[in-house]
Amino acid sequence: MIRLHHVPFSRSFRVLWLLEELGLDCELIRYSIRDGSLRDPAYLAKSPAGRVPALEIDGEVIFESAAILQILCERHPQAGLAPAPGAPDRARFLEIIGFAETMASLIENLNMQHLFLRDPSQASPVVLKLITARLRSTLGAMETLLGDQDYLLPSGFSAADAMMGFNLFAAPYYVDLSRFPGLEAYRARLEAREAYKTARAREGEQDIYPRDFLPLPER
């Protein structure tokens, strides 16, 4: 049995999505980011930082989405979802895996400032504007990396798309994606994948974002 510890609409969706791409069933154990359940000692024994995802598989527990995706790809090379060492796309694959976390960290910082400060008035408008500008810049860089390809690697869909593509479903809470038509078309291609649709239907309702767009403060 594979068990995925999951918060809807969080980084753990990357793993759920890839499991569906691989045709691997899992038991989904859902948490809320708001109720303290991720700080329970039983969960901290699985993920020491109290974050999702954590994946129980083959008698071990693995945390961090980038590590999990790479390990799943290594264990299922027949799926062709990650270039092998020495393959032409290998360096670009690893670059995108890392770049996905650079972008995700900006989204996480905006989440903290906009949504999780106990007193929202403590949020710094200057910091919010700076982080939003940096997120917008990484989206522009992502559009450049994509170019006229259907997916981020010339060889086609890979785990890099699950890593980076997930960000395109969180970033629009802070940045208008219409200024990046290439990314909008790419996002539509991702949404059309059967594995993506199945994973989204399974994951549950998100309770992170209270509305569709969170604008910068006017002050």
pLDDT at 219 over 70: no
pLDDT of residue 117: 79
User: Under a CB-based contact definition with an 8 Å cutoff, are residues 33 and 208 in contact?
Assistant: yes
pLDDT of residue 8: 96
**Percent of the chain whose predicted confidence (pLDDT) is above 70:** 99
pLDDT of residue 119: 75
pLDDT of residue 2: 98
Token representation of residue 199: 């994973």
Nearest to 104 by CA among 49, 151, 39, 173: 173
Average pLDDT, the chain: 95
151-184: pLDDT as tens digits: 999 999 999 999 999 999 999 999 999 999 999 9
Write the CA distances from 106 to 12, 121, 133, 183, integer angstroms: 17, 20, 10, 18
pLDDT at 120 over 80: no
Q: In which order are the strands placed within the sheet that holds 3-6?
A: 27-30, 3-6, 54-57, 60-63
pLDDT of residue 116: 87
More confident residue, 122 or 81: 81
The answer for 26, left when phi > 0, alpha when psi is -120 to 50, beta otherwise, is beta
pLDDT of residue 124: 84
**Which domains are present in the chain?**
3-79 (3.40.30.10), 90-194 (1.20.1050.10)
Token representation of residue 183: 């990314």
pLDDT at 123 over 90: no
pLDDT, mean of residues 1-15: 97
68-92: pLDDT as tens digits: 999 999 999 999 999 999 999 999 9
For residue 196, count other CB atoms closer than 10 A to its CB: 22
